[in-house]
Structure 1
Amino acid sequence: MPPTARFLALGRRALVLWVLFALVHAWLGILNLIGPGQPFGDVLYVYPFWVERGLLDGQWVGIDTSWVYPLLALVPMLAAYAAGPEWYGTVWLGMVTALHAAAFLALLGARAIVPASRAAIAAGWMIFLLLLGPIALGRIDAVTVALGIVAVVLLPDHPRWAGALLAVGAWVKVWPAALLVAALIAVRRRVSVLVGAVVVSLAVVGVGLVLGAGAALFSAVTEQSARGLQVESPVATPWLWAAVAGQGGAQVAYDPALLTFQVLGAGTDLTAALTTPVLALVVIAVAVLGVLAVRRGVSEARLLPVLALALVMSLVLVNKVGSPQLASWVVVPVILGLLLQRRGGESFVVPAVLALAIAASTQVVYPVLYERLLALDPVLVLVLTVRNLLYLALWAWAVSRLAGLLRDPRRSGAYDSHKLTEGASS
């Protein structure tokens, strides 16, 4: 093929990808606005309620009162209110789409010709969003996923900016802290990552204290610890099946304070109380494995994505909160692994396939058929159980690979950060 024709063909690749981006986000936006199951309920009713408590009543969540989210979650919620309550949902979708576009652009890279490997990863993300459904745009998690993707792309060449973005994400919703911990353990330029994260955190805490936040700055942790077992959480699965069978007094009940459905029954209170310390122990154990791998000389390209996936999946699996949007977290460490696998990292084909299956099974349960789940339809409970087993499989894959790196650290050596940003040429 002549060079000009090849250039035009590769240029069309970028156009096709952006058309795919537009179609996927348009479809998900339509599902949120007019689709069945009210998937946009939090954005249309809960987020504006929190914002108006501050604007109209002077009671700011996360500042004057405790809150389930860290302080910076208020920023996108306030931004979506810019055009007033009537346009809140539309502005939210526009804002999230713009953030996703920035992450999509980061994935494609700055070169005129998009490498085939980057194109495949970007297209895979769009397929993941499509399979996950409207929840992919209709929660605050969509903001943190975009920040996380940009951060993992920037990490090799700009670790300070990556650390700052991950800290911003953690102050919006805690889970990006898992990516930050993985970077601080596995990346050679960890001091730069730490500097970026500390600067952002000090700024947030300083502003919060000036605004009078006090202990409310850290209330997201205490608020989560007070929860019961949410219906969709992997930990709740045995009681969900007990409720289907009518055994042990197990049932599904609505918690009006937390706006969630939870399982009740013998042992649920004790399990809910133990889940948080067990989660902390699991995260610490995974982090220790990462530190040991560094000490044994495992390369960044092999360790970083596996450790990031293991930490993120620990937060998903050993968690009494099982909201469907937690499935959206999975894609960030998987994208990181796919970016690095061509340069000596672990193959991330299996995690990518599992992530797609997790997304699809999550949408089956929520939003359209969610009422059937709450009515304890055995088919829906089975689908949810399969989804939770997929979570377990992905966590087990990451932890087993992490243990394998400790057994076989020979393929070590730091990765060439320039290759990550340049990508492959074919």
Structure 2
Amino acid sequence: MTPPQLAPSTPFAPAAPGAPPRPSPVRLAAVWVLTRALQVLLVSEVFGRVGDGINGEVHRIYRTWYEQLLTGAFPLDDVMWQYPPGAALVILSPALLPGLSYFQAFVALTLLVDALATVALVRAGRPQGRLSGAWVWVAGLPLLLHVPLVRYDVQVTALAVLSLLALRRAPLLSGALAAVGALVKVWPALALLGAPRGRTTRAAWGSAVASAAVLLGVLALAFSHTFDFLRQQGNRGVQIESLGGTLLALARLTGLPTRGAYRVEYRYGAMEFMGPYVSTVAHASLLLTVLAFGWLLLWRVKARRWTPATACDAALCAVLLFVVTSRVISPQYMIWLIGLSAVCMTLRETVLRPVVRLLLVAAFVSTLAYPLAYGQVTSGTVYGCLLMLVRNGLLLWAAVLACRRLWASTVTR
């Protein structure tokens, strides 16, 4: 009797003739385990404390919010609470692991989401014989040391990654995931910017609007002070790690306009500049963000050619533009860019490979600045200014290059 043939869709079936070989993820899994174990050791401070206050974000701030949210109210008049109401879902998630402390449960859930994103990237790349995207994620996050484990940006980035991976085949699911991500930290809405025109765009954006409305309604009914975060967000200044902050740091270093005129204070959860022209720089950043949004709308109108990678490339380009024009470029912003870079690299058609390489180098330099030399960045020493100049220069270079390559691949005849 002839043994039955394996269906081509099963994971153990041989590749079809002419199809690229499916790479084995065994080595990738080993690197994931090794690097994440190292990150956990850093979080546990087995090797001593690397940087000051990294774990405190979860120990103090998130835990305080958690206890407040359990009362059925969002933080009121808390300058640290600057996030959309969906962030409550992540802050409350450690309650799913009652046998652990809040800190332990938060780190464990972050690792779980990290693993889920890795598996999704492997599955997305294997049909083309590519694990490049998964490698960017697995090897890119440890460039930031243990910062990804003690911020909730891994969870947010995973929602954007899963949304992009589902866009072409399941636009309704993609829109729902993007909506949840947007209600947690706004920027995942940009994952839908490059959706192919026609049915996919209508389905994805329709699903996103409906999902956001439903979730926002549920949160508004379940908690009070749902929109208090808007007041805190509008009052933010210029963080020392932003592009505008780099200009102010160089001005302070060179003694312009007057030596000692600038000072750095801890405000709204970040180290911000105080002094002359700071408000001007902040307003210029907002203007640049508006101009960036205008360019993205122009690209959307002008674009005529869509490849399987266009939506991913557009998402990375859009988020990169909003990062470089932001008044705040926190270290965890690099998690967003690494995640979107990983999605782009799952596809052979991506035009942003040079951009991805620049972003990985920028992530490494970002770690040199925070947490390894953050005291020098805050003090505005020559070394601290040089680190910020290099990191932000790389981000600016990557943003310009991404815009040029996206435009050339979709608009230019």
Q: Do the aligned partners of residues 188 and 335 (structure 1) sit closer, same or farther apart at CA in structure 2, a change above 3 Å counting? A: farther
1:381 aligned onto 2:385: yes
Q: Which runs of 5+ in 1 are unaligned?
A: 410-426
What is the RMSD computed on CA atoms of the aligned residues?
2.9
Q: Distance in 1 between matches of 2:145 and 2:223?
A: 39
Q: Which structure 2 residue ranges, 5 or more long, are not aligned? A: 1-11, 16-20
Residue 160 in 1 paired to residue 177 in 2? Answer: no
The percent identity for this pair of structures is 26
Greater shift after overlay, 318-327 or 400-409? Answer: 400-409
Partner of 2:289: 279
C-alpha contact 1:362 1:387 (8 A) present in aligned 2? yes
| Secondary structure class of the residue paired with 2:264 | strand
Task: Work out whether 1:96 is the aligned partner of 2:100.
Answer: no
Residues 1:20 and 2:34 aligned together: no
Distance 1:60 1:253, change over 3 A: same
Equivalent position to 1:392, from 377, 392, 396:
396
- CA drift of 1:142 comes to 1.2
| The one of 269, 279, 282 aligned to 2:279 | 269
Please give the residue correspondences for 1:281-360 in structure 2 after superposition, counting only pairs within 5 Å: 281-293=291-303, 297-301=304-308, 303-340=310-347, 342=348, 345-360=349-364
Distance 1:43 1:375, change over 3 A: same
Residue 193 of structure 2 aligns with which residue? 181
Match of 1:42 in 2: 57
More helix by share: 1
Report the Cα offset of residue 66 of structure 1.
9.5
C-alpha separation in 2, matches of 1:346 and 1:16: 24
**SS of the residue 2:150 aligns to:** coil
Contact 2:59 2:103 in 1 (8 A): yes
Corresponding position: 1:239 with 2:248: yes
Give the drift of 1:161.
0.8
Q: Distance in 2 between matches of 1:110 and 1:331?
A: 16
Q: Distance in 1 between matches of 2:344 and 2:220?
A: 38
Partner amino acid for 1:29? Answer: V
Q: Residue 24 of structure 2 aligns to a residue in which SS?
A: helix
| 1:138-157 pair list within 5 angstroms | 138-157=150-169
CA distance in 2, matches of 1:105, 1:274: 41
Deviation at 1:230, TM superposition (A): 0.4
2:157–2:335 CA contact under 8 A, matched in 1:
yes
Task: Return the TM-score normalized by structure 1.
Answer: 0.83
Deviations 1:8-60 (A, max 9, x none): xx89932222121112222122222314113222111110011122336x642
State the Cα deviation string for residues 194-220 of structure 1 (Å, max 9, x = none). Answer: 232123201122113323546x43x54
Please list, as runs of the form range in 1=range in 2, the aligned pairs for 1:209-228 lying within 5 A after superposition: 209-211=220-222, 213=224, 216-217=226-227, 219-228=228-237
Q: Cα 1:227–1:335, aligned 2, differ >3 Å: closer, same or farther?
A: same
Q: Secondary structure at the match of 2:25?
A: helix
- Compared with structure 1, are the counterparts of its residues 251 and 32 closer, same or farther at alpha carbon in structure 2 (3 Å cutoff)? farther
- Deviation, 1:168, is 0.9
Taking structure 1 as reference, are residues 64 and 407 closer, same or farther at Cα in structure 2, changes over 3 Å only?
A: closer
Q: How many residues align?
A: 390
**In structure 2, C-alpha distance between the alignment counterparts of 1:46 and 1:228, rounded to whole Å:** 20
Letter in 2 for 1:357: V
- 2: CA distance, partners of 1:84 / 1:250: 50
Partner of 1:422: none
Give the conservation status (yes or no) of the 8 Å contact 2:193–2:314. no
Normalised by the length of structure 2, the TM-score is 0.86
Match of 1:413 in 2: none
Is the alpha carbon distance of 1:329 and 1:64 closer, same or farther for their aligned partners in structure 2, counting shifts above 3 Å?
closer
Asked whether the 8 Å contact 2:264–2:271 carries over to 1, the reply is yes
1:313 to 1:378, Cα distance in 2 relative to 1, 3 A: same
